[in-house]
Chains A and B, each alone.
Chain A
């Protein structure tokens, strides 16, 4: 049946974020980026331009990277969300993409980094051994004003190597 909600009230939304289920009562206008940051206090997701251009707020929705500032949380009832906090390794340390960013000096101020980590994590799931051109293409939707991208592209290649190495 149709679920009609007045502007003054909230809608119940069930989101599974980094493997943990949350039932939230949210106003319809709440962007996913704000639901993550304000309601769930997961401030790893950064909000840059807030109109879908910069890519800083990228999260994975059912495994696919999407701009969380271009999604209404109420529309995602039942979805599985992965944020940068969910990109760490199983032992709680840095995940392979984070480790590669550390090794390659692929960040300076770090504001854009969460969007890169999530985007690259999903990209390497689809393409575990990318060429440098493919790596560059994969991050073309994310803006970074510090690094000049060269080290970020290197980090994509390094992360692919790290993922291929057997875990100790």
Chain B
């Protein structure tokens, strides 16, 4: 269980990191940020990058900023830093709701939120959070920078939209409309382990507390995060979200698989139950935003 040998690079700037990745792209160069997914993959010899470009000493990436559009998280912001940032929580409670369920605190002390997004594990909580909030990832490469929306960023299991020589420098989680409440619910065999299914929910209510929109993002039931617009299940008559209709919408969107942790049938069952729970919690939180605003 020792990682294979690699050539180590410690750039001081994003530009240097990009140059190094570009120069060694043919030899499997990879970015090392928190390493909480990459190091075990290397120790188990499932990954053997020839070069690691360590961005931990690059200045200016350890940032959490609340902007007019949402919360922008830099590539070196550890999960724990984002989780405990008071301004980020006030702007987007869903961040802390989900981050509290990302692995264990010791992993969150080192692992980065942006790194988790780039890794693209279909069981990773923050992929669903970015997707349900319609966020984006900022990439810097040899030919300049670009932003990729969540819908295009998650390509497949452990596969995300970025070129070999691009560094993901930040991700922006977009603020939902006023009157939106959120929740994150998941079930794992052991607390802190990969979830068998997890659901991020957003429910929006108007000033009369009628539900005007609902959206969920699910993990571990597809090749990447699965976003389902529950709009067609919103009754529009001042009530909430129609549960049987929401189940149909979720059912049509997910494609769970069997593995040693759970059968596909059980994951589908969890998707139904956890969606109902997450939507109920988000609905209650949405009512709370209107009450506190009144």
Contact = CB atoms under 8 A, between A and B. Distances in A.
Contacts of A31: 2-3, 39, 43
Name the prevailing secondary structure of the A interface residues.
mixed
B188 to A, nearest CB: 11
A65 B43 contact: no
Interface string A29-66: 10100100000000000000011100100100100111
Nearest to B3: A29
Interface stretch (A2-10, A14-22, A103-111, A152-160): A2-10
Given A7-B6, A29-B6, A67-B107, A51 B80 contact: no
B110 A71 contact: yes
Contacts of A51: 1, 40, 43-44
Contacts of B1: 50-51
Contact of B32 (A64, A75, A119): A75
B6 to A, nearest CB: 6
A31 to B, nearest CB: 7
A58 B105 CA distance: 11
Given A29-B3, A70-B39, A140-B192, A2 B107 contact: no
A140 B36 contact: no
Interface in B1-50: 1-12, 16, 20, 32, 35-36, 39-40, 43-44
Q: Indicate the size class of the contact surface on chain A.
A: 35 or more
Contacts of A1: 12
Contacts of B105: 65, 138, 141
Nearest to A4: B9
Residue with the greatest number of chain B CB neighbours at <10 A, chosen from A1, A7, A11, A75:
A75
A7 B10 CA distance: 14
A71 B32 CA distance: 10
Interface of A: 1-7, 11, 27-29, 31, 34, 50-52, 55, 58, 61, 64-67, 69-72, 74-75, 77, 119, 137-138, 140-141
30 contacts: A1-B12, A2-B10, A2-B11, A2-B16, A2-B20, A3-B8, A4-B8, A6-B7, A28-B8, A28-B52, A29-B4, A29-B6, A31-B2, A31-B3, A31-B43, A34-B2, A50-B1, A50-B43, A51-B1, A51-B40, A52-B39, A58-B106, A61-B109, A67-B107, A67-B110, A71-B35, A71-B110, A72-B8, A74-B54, A141-B105
